[in-house]
Amino acid sequence: MSTEDKYRKIISIMHNVRFLCLPPHYPSLVSWRGGPASARSLLGGAGGGPLGVYVNVPFCRTKCSFCYLDVSILPPGDGGRVARDFVEGIGLEAGMTGRYFGGRKVSSVYLAGGTVNLLSGEELGAVIRAVRNNFSLAPGAQISMEANPDFFDGKKLDLLAAAGVSMVMIGVQTLDQRVLDGANRRQNAGKVPDAVKLVRAHGIKRVGIDLICVLPGQTAEGFMKDVERVAALRPDQVHLNRYKPVRGRLPEEERRKNVDAQERGFRLLAKRGYKRIDEDSAVLDVKVFNAQGDPDFQLSADVVGLGPGAMSRVRGRSRYQNFSGLGEYLAALRAGRLPVMRWVRLGPADEAAHYALTRLLDLRRVDAAALAGLFGLAAASLVLRRLGPLARSGLVKKRAGGYEAARDGDGFCAGPYEITRALYEKKYLEAAARNYGL
Ligand code: SF4
């Protein structure tokens, strides 16, 4: 295989692996190193800027057939010990990581998974207390969580409201019970309207709903009915996530149909008063959205990930991922070590490449002065030098002191491979190739 074919394959694999709701990362985690690393080497000397805490709750009642996340299945009644261990682990990890961020204010705490509200109100309250006790929360910091509509009751919601939860994102995926059953998702579609009312009635005013565009067994018309029914519930935010198969890629024709369905969904939401704020979500009020889902927050904030499998990003310093198994995660913490499974150390040039890559692939402008201001002249020059040949080939356009990705006839980025190839550090592509045995 030629070097170019090898890189094309690696980039194609990396762009097919999406870890939604986790901190975005560069380079792809297939380039990271395994083995231990100290908290000081990964977190020491963290700079300033926005700070978030992400808590990964990787437990579910059943495994949905469309899910690619690494979750453990908790049979009914078996959650007690697991939940106690999980809460203990979060307390230890928050204590170990929080001290590196001094007085920096946390503007967003996000609990996701998994099925977060499989845990009791008391357990979730203890998790949030551990974050509050070890980090400094900004006044009015958003505390949001993902939830399944089946696992709420009034008492749990009272405890969550008292703990400061200000937004609940309900993972509905579809309101078609037949499709849910076919996907092994144990969820009662009929409970969704009551769950939205219940959350609001117990003092959590902000509600989001997540749908997936055209799940297996569903038609585009069925998906549009979902969007119509969800809009009638008036959630503050609606996510229309594109469907991605657990393995491989959707055939191109299917992918385009999925994107079309998503666009039709957003057009319908616009008619119902929603404004689109990014690739996959729309809101009623542009000031009310899940902060950690915001692409600008993802690109500009440090995020400390707590819990099994969580990923952390400390700009200009590191990315790392925790052990995904609860046993290994807790054993490391009880032994006084950060539970790191794999990690990578990064510098300003990596961050500049990540910033430019993300913005260009999202069809957003990269401003040369902003790049230098954020990452320094040397890092910015390196990125701009790499964009030069792409500008000459027409895959990026030079405009008013910056660059934009050219679009193809359908409005998509015309050269995602070429842009990624130009900006990715060769050493990371080589590390990824080694890990894939190429
Ligand atoms: S409930 Fe969510 S996290 Fe759990 S298996 Fe289903 S899709 Fe995955």
pLDDT tier at 19 (50, 70, 90 boundaries)? very low
Instruction: Indicate the pLDDT class of residue 42, thresholds 50, 70 and 90.
Output: very high
Query: Mutation test of ligand 1: which of 115, 188, 212 has the most ligand atoms closer than 8 Å to its C-beta?
Result: 115
For residue 17, the model assigns a pLDDT of 39
CATH, range 32-297: 3.20.20.70
What CA–CA distances, in Å, run from 431 to 3, 421, 426?
A: 13, 14, 9
Residues near 28 by beta carbon (within 8 Å), at least 6 away in sequence: 14, 17, 428, 432
* CA distances (Å), origin 65, targets 50, 124, 138, 245: 36, 27, 39, 9
Q: How far is the CA of 112 from the centre of ligand 1 (A)?
A: 10
Of the pLDDT bands very low, low, confident and very high (cuts 50, 70, 90), residue 410 is confident
Opening angle at CA 300, ends 295 and 305, nearest 5? 85
Task: Please compute the mean of the pLDDT values over residues 211-219 and round it to a whole number.
Answer: 95
Global pTM value:
0.93
User: CA 181, 223, 293, 166 torsion: positive or negative?
Assistant: negative
Q: Break the chain into its structural domains and give their ranges.
A: 32-297, 348-435
**Per-residue buried b or exposed e for 313-330, using 16+ beta carbons within 10 Å of the residue's own CB:** bbbbbbbbbbbbbbeebb
Q: Which amino acid is located at 380 in the chain?
A: A
Q: CA-to-CA distance for 56 and 71, rounded, in angstroms?
A: 10
Q: Which two tokens stand for residue 30?
A: 């297939």
Distance linking the first and last C-alpha atoms of the chain: 8
Under 8 Å between Cβ of 326 and 72: yes
The average confidence (pLDDT) of the chain is: 91
What does the alpha-carbon distance between residue 426 and residue 409 come to, in Å, rounded to a whole number?
30
Fold match between domain 32-297 and domain 348-435: no
Residue 30 has what pLDDT?
84
Write the CA distances from 88 to 69, 70, 84, integer angstroms.
Answer: 23, 21, 6
* pLDDT given for residue 333 in this prediction: 98
Comparing 156-165, 217-226, 390-399, 414-423, the range with the smallest average pLDDT is 414-423
Q: Find, among 189, 192, 210, the residue nearest to 262 by Cα.
A: 210
Atom of ligand 1 nearest to the CA of 148: 1
Instruction: Fill in the amino acid letter for 431.
Output: A
pLDDT tens figures, 342-378: 999 999 999 999 999 989 988 899 999 999 999 999 9
Which pLDDT tens digit goes with each residue over 253-295? 888 899 899 999 999 999 999 999 988 899 999 988 888 888 8
Ligand 1 pocket test, candidate residues 59, 71, 145, 239, most atoms within 8 A of CB: 71
Contact in structure between 382 and 352 (CB atoms under 8 Å): yes
List pocket residues of ligand 1, CB cut-off 6 Å: 60, 63-64, 67, 69, 71, 113-115, 171, 185
Question: 64 C-alpha vs ligand 1 centroid, how far in Å?
Answer: 6
Nearest residue by C-alpha to atom 5 in ligand 1: 63
Q: What is the 3-state secondary structure (H, E, C) of 281-320?
A: EEECCCCCCCHHHCHHHHHHCEEEEECCCCEEEECCCEEE
| CA–centroid distance, residue 125 to ligand 1 (Å) | 22
The amino acid at residue 395 is L
- Class level of CATH domain 348-435: mainly alpha
Please give the pLDDT value at position 13.
74
At 77 the pLDDT is 65
* Nearest atom within ligand 1 for CA of residue 114: 3
Choose one of 57, 61, 63 to mutate for the ligand 1 pocket test, by most ligand atoms within 8 angstroms of C-beta: 63
What pLDDT digit, counting tens, does each position of 92-114 carry?
999 999 999 988 999 999 999 89
